[in-house]
Structure 1
């Protein structure tokens, strides 16, 4: 990530990148070394330099579809521990706790749905159905790994012994709010409440500049595209899975979910066009906010970049501490600002894209994603190294 004066993230200290890559290499090597001959072909894939492997690496999901790799449930207890040790190397302590909480929520969701949703398998909501896959050999010049499952997608690229990319980074929660004995569980409470506080702090004029649409779109707009581009509109449910269902009942279920979501939002094709990703971004810029609102915007960005290992999160914090940089960050809102009502927001600058929606299941089903408009999956860095390799 090199600074270019346009608001992109500045150089990250090499020592931090190297430390993270070393931890990932050691953890991935230990996990792969524990697998048997049946498990290894699922877990270990070709290098990102291989076109077929790269196409698979860029094929990411956040629906309860098969994500590719070796599922946690298909591993021994020791292997599961090693797998989660690898996952932890790509996250901050708080990020890891959030991810593992979301994985465990599959149990609560199963009960919420009356244990009836199966998605073509023995258990439709399964905390063991999170797939881990390594691309290339840990320690090679270029290798990558990902964890994916319902409401989780973590994607990491290591190049020349340095961690170079941690996006797309998707975390969702269904249910977004769960009652506990004597309390409430809200894995995405910080990102939701901070954004709402910012939106509600805006006076009528500022809120009018921030408002993207009076009602909330039913999902994140960028979807699971490998790259986000100007004019992208929301992807519908049917396109967010690894292919179509052979079972007509499941195919109808997906269609019904999409139909209900669209009916709930009331969106037409024109509404989706209005909510499209734009470059430059829509919304109110940091330049138009007062001191307290700017503080909330910085905190909101940090709640996403803070998912990453601490050295990277700290670098983002330092970057957005600059008033000049924050001036170029835009905040957009759609829907109601009342708690418990459907809403969507977007944070965007020349590089970062953050999206959050909580609209489905009566605004108790949240999606959040942090993306890099210039280098999701480390594609810019990877392109440079491919060129270098070709010239060697």
Structure 2
């Protein structure tokens, strides 16, 4: 049995999925109180391993092999999108008649990245815009699909060009958030003395389509950061997005999701008794009232992570229309924070789509609403699914969820993850041209 106790495979434990009648108290002190000794068997066997060696070792775990078999099966399914009943609701997304915004800088940045690569690198990084590889992203530190180039295997000019392309396509504050998630992965590698397993370049990057020649996009994914950017007919989609951190904070910097959590706690605390009865679905993140299967050893509570492109997610929680004006403003601010990666005017256009469906959008909460416990919350409507979840430790020793290990996801339900609803409309408009 590993130092975690109640071991599943040395990294995951049954404690993270076992219902508890008592409250899940917030872990006392700093995340540093949960650092393993450097010679602990949770860390020491992997010291000096590269990412491929580490992956090969992890593949020997039965739990992980079962997880990867499940992922493989989900990946092979035809894309549908996240829905509430199994079929996408038609008409939820429409391309503008005239493009707005200008991709010229982004297209030039994509060209400079391709120029910075060898012919072999250009072949590895390039995929058709409708390639199935879009759906092969994952967020653990071990490797499953190898899509595009691996940043840590590339020279400095190529890595710089990748970051230049991200800066040219994301908002400045959105790029900073993605960059901070990558830095936190490097920070975790330093804390555990496993920099060859987890570092700021532990990421795959690919380009889909021909930039400047119709729809195109790019994908970055690796430990605690996965971003999919698509440009179709003048509209940008940045989804699916997975951003997280263990820990989600480094000394001297604000926690990665501090603003979002402050807004969410303010909203949850403002609920009246009747509103709370509708919004708070479970009293704790390990509420024994959760049905079998609601908690997953790897995903814990979040429902929209890797390979969950076709998941059926019923609505739960309180309708936004049942919130007062101030509460709705808080909800909008949380949504805007989830959409932070989108550059303007794309973010405003996406916010308008959410606003148009606000009466159908719900807010749900698990746990205490005052920040005294780890929590989970979800905003879910016809054109957005956004969630934040506090997790138990993987590389840290907290066996129960704690607020310093955070996972967040963003999806465009009803078929527009990876811009697929827009892409289908663009192809219909251009059929035969």
**TM-score, with structure 2 as normaliser:** 0.68
Gaps in structure 1 of 5+ consecutive residues? 117-121, 231-276
Matched residue, 2:129: 48
1:200, CA displacement in angstroms? 1.3
- Secondary structure of the residue aligned to 1:221 is coil
- Residue 148 (structure 1) shift: 1.2
**SS state at 2:244 partner:** strand
Bigger mean CA deviation after superposition, 221-230 or 144-153: 221-230
Where 2:141 maps in the other structure, the secondary structure is coil
Aligned partners of 2:413, 2:357: CA distance in 1, in Å?
16
Corresponding residue SS for 2:345: helix
Answer with 366-375 or 212-221: which moved more: 212-221
Query: Matched residues in 1 for 2:364 and 2:242: separation?
Result: 19
What is the aligned counterpart of 2:159 among 80, 87, 94? 80
Mapped partners of 2:149, 2:90: distance in 1: 40
Counterpart check, 1:151 vs 2:224: yes
* Alignment correspondent of 1:137: 210
Higher helix share: 1
Alignment of 1:204-215 (within 5 A): 204-215=273-284
Alignment of 1:284-363 (within 5 A): 284-319=318-353, 325-339=357-371, 341-361=373-393, 362-363=402-403
| Distance in structure 2 (CA, Å) of the matches to 1:159 and 1:295 | 30
Alignment of 1:1-392 (within 5 A): 8=92, 14-17=98-101, 19=102, 21-45=103-127, 47-49=128-130, 54-66=131-143, 67-112=146-191, 114-115=192-193, 123-160=196-233, 162-180=234-252, 184-216=253-285, 218-225=300-307, 227-230=309-312, 277-278=313-314, 281-319=315-353, 325-339=357-371, 341-361=373-393, 362-374=402-414, 375-387=416-428, 391-392=432-433
In structure 2, the residue corresponding to 1:58 is in which secondary structure? helix
Write the distance in 2 (CA, Å) between the matches of 1:124 and 1:157: 29
Q: Would the aligned equivalents of 2:235 and 2:346 in 1 still touch at CA under 8 Å?
A: no
Q: How many angstroms does 1:11 deviate by?
A: 5.8
The whole-number CA distance in structure 2 between the counterparts of 1:135 and 1:6 is: 26
Alpha-carbon distance in 1 for matches of 2:272, 2:91: 27
Report deviation, 1:356: 0.9
- SS at structure 1 position matched to 2:160: helix
Shift of the alpha carbon at 1:348?
1.1
Q: Is the 8 A contact 2:244 2:407 kept in 1?
A: yes
Does the aligned pair in 1 maintain the 2:95–2:235 contact within 8 Å?
Answer: no
Figure out how many residues of one structure are paired with residues of the other and give that number: 321
Rate the CA distance shift 1:144–1:325 in 2: closer, same or farther, 3 A: closer
Residues in 1 aligned to 2:184 and 2:432: alpha-carbon distance in whole angstroms: 49
Write the distance in 2 (CA, Å) between the matches of 1:223 and 1:317. Answer: 22
CA deviation profile, 1:192-212 (whole Å, cap 9, x unmatched): 221111111112221110012
Cα deviation 1:291-344 (Å, max 9, x = unaligned): 221111111111112221121112234455x5x643322100012334362211
Q: Matched residues in 1 for 2:372 and 2:97: separation?
A: 41
**Aligned 8 A contact 1:167 1:377 in 2:** yes
Q: What is the Cα deviation at residue 159 of structure 1?
A: 3.4
Query: TM-score, with normalisation over the residues of structure 1?
Result: 0.74
Task: State the alpha-carbon separation in 1 of the partners of residues 243 and 303 from structure 2.
Answer: 15
| CA apart distance, 1:10 | 7.0
Change (3 A) 1:307 1:38: same
Q: Cα gap change, 1:6/1:194 in structure 2, threshold over 3 Å: closer, same or farther?
A: farther
How far, CA to CA, are the matches of 1:304 and 1:159 in structure 2? 21
Q: Is the 8 A contact 1:356 1:367 kept in 2?
A: yes
- Contact preservation (8 Å) 1:60, 1:224: yes
1-structure distance, mates of 2:392, 2:100: 39
CA distance in 2, matches of 1:385, 1:7: 14
SS state at 2:221 partner: strand
Residue-by-residue CA offset, 1:224-275 (whole Å, 9 max, x unaligned): 1352442xxxxxxxxxxxxxxxxxxxxxxxxxxxxxxxxxxxxxxxxxxxxx
CA contact (8 A) 2:150 2:205 kept: yes
Higher relative contact order (CA 8 A, sep 6+): 2
Deviation at 1:87, TM superposition (A): 1.0
Q: CA RMSD in A?
A: 2.6
Specify whether residues 129 and 102 from structure 1 end up closer, same or farther in structure 2 by C-alpha distance, changes over 3 A only: same
Q: 5+ unaligned residues in a row in structure 2: which ranges?
A: 1-88, 286-294, 394-401
